[in-house]
Amino acid sequence: MKRTFNKEFKVKACELVLKDGIKHAIVAEKLGINKVMLYRWIDEYQTYGEEAFVGKGYQRSQDAELKKLRKENERLKTEMEILKKAAAYFAKHPADE
C-alpha cells in the first residue's frame, strides 16, 4: 500500500536535514521513509522553495502561467490564419459597389 505525505511533513523532513544538519539516513530512518525519497524531496525543496510539493492535480504558478500563455498563443495563431484567409478572399473578390 502506497503511503502519501502532506506538504508540511515533506518540508519538515527537508528542514531537518538542511537547517538542523541531521544526516539524511537518520532523518529517513526516524520518519520511516526511504532515503532516496528524502533526497528527491530535498532536491525539489531546494529547487522550488515554497512552491515545492504542490500535490496531484495542481501546478506551480510558473507552470500554470506557461500553460495559459501557450493556450492564448494557439488561439491567436488560429485567429491570424482566419484573418489571412479573409484578406485573401476579399482581395480576389472586391466588394460590389
- 57-88 residue pLDDT tens: 566 677 778 888 899 999 999 999 999 999 98
pTM recorded for the entire structure: 0.58
Q: Closest Cα partner for 6 from 34, 46, 41?
A: 41
Based on the fold, state whether residues 50 and 64 are members of the same structural domain.
Answer: no
Tell me the residue length of the chain: 97
pLDDT of residue 55: 66
Based on the fold, state whether residues 36 and 65 are members of the same structural domain.
Answer: no
Instruction: Read off the pLDDT of each residue in 36-48 and give the average, rounded to a whole number.
Output: 92
Based on the fold, state whether residues 42 and 83 are members of the same structural domain.
Answer: no
Based on the fold, state whether residues 44 and 80 are members of the same structural domain.
Answer: no
Based on the fold, state whether residues 43 and 64 are members of the same structural domain.
Answer: no
* Angstrom distance (rounded) from CA 29 to CA 10: 14
Maximum Cα interatomic distance, the chain, rounded to a whole number of Å? 86
pLDDT of residue 68: 86
Based on the fold, state whether residues 51 and 65 are members of the same structural domain.
Answer: no
The owner of cell 502506497 is: 2
Domain that holds residue 77: 59-97
For the cut 70, the answer to whether the pLDDT of residue 20 exceeds it is: yes
**Count of structural domains, the chain:** 2
Looking up residue 26, the CATH number of its domain turns out to be 1.10.10
Based on the fold, state whether residues 5 and 52 are members of the same structural domain.
Answer: yes
